[in-house]
């Protein structure tokens, strides 16, 4: 695919952004504009691309500088936002894209961003301008909704699914931006701790942590903490499954401990969280997984179908889905308006493409 209009990647040299840039370059999408506060790091990434990154350039953009954001967006046909933390960036980059007639893909951007973009007539403004905003195009949220939808589409007609269990996480380093999202991603707008989805509503205080679990997605026993995310609720409503139990998985103890302490103190400092994640990686290695169980007959029966994803790098998974959303948008396959990636990408096609990608190992026995 060849494009003559600029595709801008903001935060393009970060953990997710660099994966997006490499994948877009490999797909022949150009010209690329790699943006962030440090143009030297952006240029270093470009130089490292095959053949020195032809049709790619670097530019300096500080998220706190609205004029710089406007100048960047004015150069772009499509903006892919990989900068964070998402809950601080919110809709600033998306609004700049809309002002300058660019489409927008966000590797993060969960319900708070969707609410800002679609509320008070916002969705109509995107539609009237003929522009697209695709949010939650990452590993979590994103693949975490698309993969179980693919499993439901494949298994539900034969099994009469009544329940879904999801286990997502592992052991991985945290960038400061990712740590910020973890710290700030709480409260009713984001989800409910210890809750389950039951018979069309959120049932609070329904679940307890599960310690020392052995699951095929993870190479060692893990601790699973119930957290019914806003994404999980959307998934339940979209699929019509009566019960959803959603767990965040930790393969090491330090990050879970530090996160609990930070939430108790209402802290927004990321350094100790980043250090705790690094300590877990040193002790246990780096691994990431998502595992989904569909149940039929009774909610506590054996799984009727499973999907297991294993990966070394969750940031690469986010790059995979953000690029899938970007390509979908560039082909004109997304209607103008504000969307979650799981609502506009084909779950079965995404799952097939991921199974063929070197970013992950996927099993759907």
pLDDT tens-digit series, residues 245-267: 999 999 988 999 998 888 888 88
266 and 148 fall within a common domain = yes
pLDDT tens track for 313-365 = 999 999 999 999 999 999 999 999 999 999 999 999 999 999 999 999 999 87
CB 4 within 8 A of CB 75: no
Tell me if residue 84 falls in helix, strand or coil: coil
> Do 193 and 176 belong together in one domain?
yes
Residue 227 has pLDDT above 60, yes or no: yes
What is the pLDDT confidence band of residue 177, given thresholds at 50, 70 and 90?
Answer: confident
Structure confidence at residue 162 (pLDDT): 85
Assess whether 149 and 250 both reside in one domain.
Answer: yes
Residues 263 and 323 in one domain: no
Q: What's the structural domain count of the chain?
A: 2
88 lies in the same domain as 200: no
Say if residue 276 is in the same domain as residue 321. no
Are 337 and 123 within 8 A, CB to CB?
A: yes
ω before 94 within 30° of 0 (cis)?
Answer: no
Instruction: Indicate the SS3 state at residue 225.
Output: strand
* 31 prior amide bond cis, ω within 30: yes
Using 50, 70 and 90 to split pLDDT, how confident is the model at 147? very high
d(CA 171, CA 269): 20
State whether 35 and 170 are in the same domain.
no
d(CA 171, CA 159) in angstroms, rounded, equals 33
- Which of 95-109, 146-160, 280-294, 351-365 is least confident? 146-160
Q: Are 341 and 198 in contact (CB under 8 A)?
A: no
CATH code, 287: 3.30.360.10
- In degrees rounded to 5, what are phi and psi of residue 361? -110, 130
Across the range 265-275, mean pLDDT stands at 88
Among 85-89, 101-105, 213-217, whose mean pLDDT is lowest?
A: 85-89
Check pLDDT > 80 for residue 35. Answer: yes
Mean pLDDT is lowest, of 153-167, 210-224, 339-353, for: 153-167
Provide the token pair at 168. 């997502």
Closest to 303 measured CA to CA, from 289, 291, 321: 291
Nearest residue to 146 (alpha-carbon basis) of 334, 324, 279, 337: 324
Are 299 and 202 part of one and the same domain? yes
From 293, 315, 327, select the one nearest 360 (Cα to Cα).
315
> Is 288 in contact with 313 (CB distance < 8 Å)?
yes
Domain that holds residue 12: 6-137+316-363
Place of tokens 């990989």: 82
Cis? peptide before 316, omega within 30° of 0: no
Domain contains 1: no
Cα radius of gyration rounded to whole Å, the chain = 20
Instruction: Report whether the peptide linkage leading into residue 345 is cis, meaning its omega lies within 30 degrees of zero.
Output: no
Compute the distance between CA of residue 235 and CA of residue 262 in angstroms, rounded to an integer.
29
Mean local confidence (pLDDT), 76-85: 94
Are 309 and 320 in a shared domain? no
Q: In angstroms, rounded to a whole number, what is the distance separating the alpha carbons of residues 365 and 350?
A: 17
Which 8-state DSSP code applies to residue 274? H
CB 17 within 8 A of CB 84: no
């Amino acid at each position: 695919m060849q494009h003559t209009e600029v595709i801008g990647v903001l935060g393009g040299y970060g953990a997710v952004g660099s994966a997006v840039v490499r994948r877009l370059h490999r797909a022949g999408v150009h010209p690329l504009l790699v943006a962030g506060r440090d143009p030297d790091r952006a240029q270093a990434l470009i130089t490292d691309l095959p053949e020195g990154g032809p049709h790619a350039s670097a530019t300096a953009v500080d998220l706190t500088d609205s004029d710089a954001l406007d100048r960047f967006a004015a150069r772009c046909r499509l903006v892919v936002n990989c900068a964070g933390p998402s809950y601080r960036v919110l809709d600033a980059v998306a609004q700049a894209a809309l002002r300058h007639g660019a489409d927008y893909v966000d590797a993060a951007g969960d319900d708070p961003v969707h609410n800002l973009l679609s509320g008070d007539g916002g969705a109509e403004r995107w539609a009237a301008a003929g522009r697209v905003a695709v949010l939650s195009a990452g590993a979590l949220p994103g693949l975490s909704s698309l993969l179980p939808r693919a499993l439901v589409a494949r298994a539900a007609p034969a099994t009469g699914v009544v329940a879904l269990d999801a286990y997502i996480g592992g052991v991985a380093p945290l960038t400061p931006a990712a740590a910020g999202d973890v710290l700030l991603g709480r409260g009713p707008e984001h989800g409910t701790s210890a809750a389950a989805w039951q018979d069309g509503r959120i049932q609070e205080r329904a679940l307890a942590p599960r310690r020392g679990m052995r699951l095929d997605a993870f190479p060692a026993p893990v601790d699973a903490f119930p957290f019914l995310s806003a994404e999980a609720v959307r998934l339940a409503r979209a699929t019509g499954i009566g019960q959803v139990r959603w767990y965040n998985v930790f393969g090491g103890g330090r990050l879970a401990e530090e996160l609990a302490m930070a939430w108790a103190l209402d802290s927004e400092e990321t350094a100790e969280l980043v250090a705790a994640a690094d300590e877990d990686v040193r002790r246990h290695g780096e691994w990431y997984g998502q595992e989904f169980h569909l149940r039929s007959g009774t909610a506590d029966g054996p799984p009727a179908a499973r999907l297991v994803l294993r990966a070394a790098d969750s940031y690469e998974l986010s790059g995979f889905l953000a690029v899938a959303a970007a390509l979908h948008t560039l082909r004109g396959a997304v209607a103008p308006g504000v969307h979650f990636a799981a609502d506009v990408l084909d779950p079965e096609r995404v799952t097939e493409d991921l199974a063929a990608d070197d970013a992950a190992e996927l099993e759907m026995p």
